[in-house]
Amino acid sequence: MPWIHGGLKRLVQLAAAGLVLGLCNAAAAAPVDMAIVVSFDRSESVDQQDAKIQIDGLIFALRHPKFLTAVQSGRLGRIAVSVVTWSSFGKHDVILPWTQIATGADAERASTVLLRDLDRQLTAVHGSQTDVAFGIHIATKQLEVLPWETDRQLINMVGDGRSNIGQVAVVDRDVALDRGITINALISAQGSAIRVLSAYFREEVIGGPSAFVQITKNNGDFAQAMLRKMLLEMSQHQASRRRG
């Protein structure tokens, strides 16, 4: 079946990319301060322009000097990042395999992988509906294959809508929380939708120590919002370690 062959080809490509990224990291076998899965909604409400702005925003954050300073301020001075996309009916993808980031060169390699795959990402066929529980599930599964030890695991749910198919998000949210994973969210909303969507994510999606929802009201603010979110997550973890 064509989709099976395509999936196998994609798996081989990702394995190769993961190997390259792993070999490029000088501390590839070392533990990390934290592991972050960025989990992007790719249902019908997220068009190609939105998707590109989101990937560009993540790359902006990874390349920003403040991001690198925050990473290197951690006890170990390195974190792990992976990126997944999802929609519904089992449609998902891993667009950045697990990658350690400790230097600007590491961040640039991760950004290059995201950029190199951008055209395929924008034309990939996802389900039309939004299954937020599935997005949490895929991110949790990605954390299960994290190749390094860490005492802080995070899922960053990024989206612009509530579930309209699948089981309620709290089911998979609670599974993740039971495994010690914290779930935060970055949501895009305007007008009255801000209150409705932020309430949904606070009540049914996020959870764990210091969990929070970051809101962006327009695409122009997305990159800065992603940077603020990742900086806050790292500073929260460093503060909790100092208190501990």
Residue pair 60/173 in contact by the 8 Å Cβ criterion: no
Domain that holds residue 162: 2-243
Report the run of H or E that residue 67 belongs to, with start and end: helix 65-72
Do 106 and 26 form a contact (C-beta atoms < 8 A)? Answer: no
Q: What is the CATH number of the domain that holds 220?
A: 3.40.50.410
Q: For 24-42, what is each residue's pLDDT tens digit? A: 444 557 999 999 999 999 9
Say what the pLDDT of residue 15 is.
43
Domain count, the chain: 1
Q: What is the pLDDT of residues 40-57, one digit of tens each?
A: 999 888 888 999 999 999
Name which of 116, 101, 113, 115 is nearest 34 in CA terms.
101
What integer pLDDT is reported at residue 140 of this predicted model? 98
Give first-to-last CA distance, the chain, whole Å: 53
pLDDT in tens, 119-175: 887 776 677 799 999 999 999 999 999 999 999 999 999 999 999 999 999 999 999
**219 CA to centre of own chain:** 18
